[in-house]
Amino acid sequence: MKPEWAESTYYNYSSSLSRFLEFCEEDELDNVCEIDGFHISDFKSTRRKDEISEMTLYNELNSLRSFLKWCNAMGLIESWVVEDMVLNEPDDKVRSDKLDAEEAEMIRNYLNQFEYATLRHALFAILWDTGIRLGTARSLDVDDYHPEEKYIEVQHRPDQGTPLKNEHEADREINLHTWACEILDDYLQMHHEGATDDHDREPLLGSRHGRMTLSNLRMHIRRLTRPCHYTGDCPHGRDQNECEAAIDYRAASQCPGSVSPHPIRRGAITHWLNEGHRKELISERMNVGVKTLDEHYDARTESEKRNLRREMFEME
């Protein structure tokens, strides 16, 4: 399916299914034809012991079910294996993981003090201030940033290796706050590599080899959002000297407190909603339909909505 999928879709499936592959190796299960309901149940229990969220488990089981449906279509397993598969039921399937504004503020404070104007600082500033997708952030060139007017220009350029999810409908100009521009200005002056990619473009978020891959950018976010990294403490009661996620940066995703880039997008959108901005304007800024925004990105509680209405109506 890789040639037919977007890179992000391929990454999500391969990432989720890699967990099941690891389980199979540990269980010495090396033939797909032998998979049955007991293996699936054991996999579910194993992942829960890893202290992942119910939403993460739900997504992993969904990916596994899609794979098993393909196996059944190929005649490798019986149909009942798929039909009898029971998914967990997270409290809220569409509004689960998000980075709270308070957590984002702690990360920003950490970056300002210890990793100022680094690539990771610039990356987080862009994601949190704009709420754009990671693929959109990766597509940006230095020339797409306009420091005087304080905005970035987003363009769909599939023939140059940077397609956007919604193609040319995603083309737009996005205003930046002054604080984000200050970080980008200093990053470009102090730490930007200045390398070009295979299309002779100078990526805004680049390495010495050119444009960074999505997997490398995701790894930066996973490492950064570990609570022990930006607070020094572990809220999960783990010994940081023994925790693999704290010791090995390649295992950062195993920290139950770390997040992928998408919860940052969801958290940023929720933050803009809590600030009282109109959904139509947020929809244009974040390149997401109002209906989709309501269903998948508005992670505000009913109390937050009520308090915002009180503020907007100036009720004492």
* Domains of the chain, each with CATH number or no CATH: 7-84 (1.10.150.130), 101-261 (1.10.443)
What is the helix (H) or strand (E) element at residue 280, kind and residue range?
A: helix 279-286
Of the candidates 258, 118, 277, 271, the one whose C-alpha atom is nearest the C-alpha of residue 184 is 118
The count of C-alpha atoms lying within 13 angstroms of the C-alpha of 104, restricted to the half-sphere facing its C-beta, is: 22
How much is the pLDDT for 195? 94
CA-based nearest residue to 264, from 62, 107, 89: 107
Q: How far apart are CA 61 and CA 205, in angstroms?
A: 33
Q: Using DSSP, how many helices (H) and how many strands (E) does the chain show?
A: 15, 5
Q: Specify the pLDDT at position 5.
A: 73
**So what's the pLDDT on residue 299?**
64
Least confident of 100-109, 156-165, 242-251: 242-251
Looking at residue 204, the DSSP 8-state letter turns out to be S
pTM over 0.75: no
As a whole number, mean pLDDT of residues 115-136 equals: 96
Q: What is the pLDDT, as a whole number, of residue 316?
A: 56
pLDDT, tens digit, for every residue of 60-104?
888 899 899 999 999 998 888 888 888 877 654 444 578 888 999
Strand order in the sheet with 151-154: 145-146, 151-154, 172-175
Report whether pLDDT(109) > 90. Answer: yes
Query: Is 91 in a helix, a strand, or coil?
Result: coil
Adjacent-strand bridge partners of 261 = none
Select, from the ranges 52-66, 254-268, 271-285, the one with the highest average predicted confidence (pLDDT): 254-268
pLDDT at position 100: 87
So what's the pLDDT on residue 94? 44
Q: Band of the pLDDT at 206, cuts 50, 70, 90? A: very high
Write down the pLDDT at residue 30.
Answer: 87
